Amino acid sequence: MKKVRVAELRSHQLGVTLVEVLVAVLITATGVLGAAALQLNSVKFNQAANTRSAAVFLASDMADRLRANRSLAIDGSYDLTMDATVPKGNAINIVDQREWLTELSLRLPSGDGSISRDDTVFTITVRWNEARLSGTREDGAGDLETFVFVTEL
C-alpha cells in the first residue's frame, strides 16, 4: 500500500481556494450588475410611462375645454398648429390655449400641440421628444412621440 504524505496533498491544493473565491466574486458581480441594469430600465420605463400619461391627460384637458366652450370651438377659435406662438389676450379661448401650451411645455420634453377640426370632429395632437428617455442626448426627429385624441362636440 502506498502512503501519501499530507504535505504532498497540500501542495496539490495550493491556490484552489483563491480560484473558487474569484469565481464566486465574478458570479456575484454579474448578478449585481444585472440587478442594477434592471433597476435603471425600470426607472427609464417609469419616466416614459409618466410622460405618456401626462400627454393623455393634457389632450383630455383640452377636449374638456373645447366642450365647455362649444360655440367658440366650432367657430374655429380654438384651432392651433404645431409650433404656434403662445397667443396673447384675455378671451376665454386664448386663455385656454395659452394655459394648455404652457402646460405642454412644462410637463413634456419639447412638448407641443395642435388642434384641428372638421365640422364638429376635433383632433387634438400632442407631440413631445423622448430622446432624453431613450438614452440619446441629441434631439432627433426619430424620437418624437405623438398622441392623437379625436372627439366630437
The amino acid that residue 20 corresponds to is E
Overall number of domains in the chain? 1
Q: Is residue 110 part of a domain?
A: yes
55-92 b/e (C-beta count within 10 Å ≥ 16 → b): beebbebbbebbeebeebbeeebbebeeeeeeeeeeee
- Winning range, highest mean pLDDT, from 9-18, 42-51, 135-144: 42-51
Higher pLDDT, 138 or 89: 89
Q: Is residue 34 part of a domain?
A: yes
pLDDT tens across 93-150, in order?
Answer: 999 999 999 999 999 999 999 999 999 999 999 999 988 766 655 555 567 999 999 9
The DSSP result for 17-83, as a single string, is HHHHHHHHHHHHHHHHHHHHHHHHHHHHHHHHHHHHHHHHHHHHHHHHHHHHTHHHHHTTTT-B-TT
pLDDT bin (cut points 50, 70, 90) of residue 25 is: very high
For residue 74, what are the domain limits?
A: 6-152
Q: Is residue 135 part of a domain?
A: yes
Q: Are 54 and 134 in contact (CB under 8 A)?
A: no
Which grid coordinates belong to 28?
456575484
Q: Is residue 1 part of a domain?
A: no
Q: Is residue 93 part of a domain?
A: yes
Q: Is residue 96 part of a domain?
A: yes
pLDDT tens across 52-88, in order?
Answer: 999 999 999 999 999 999 999 999 999 999 998 888 9
Q: Is residue 138 part of a domain?
A: yes
Q: Is residue 99 part of a domain?
A: yes
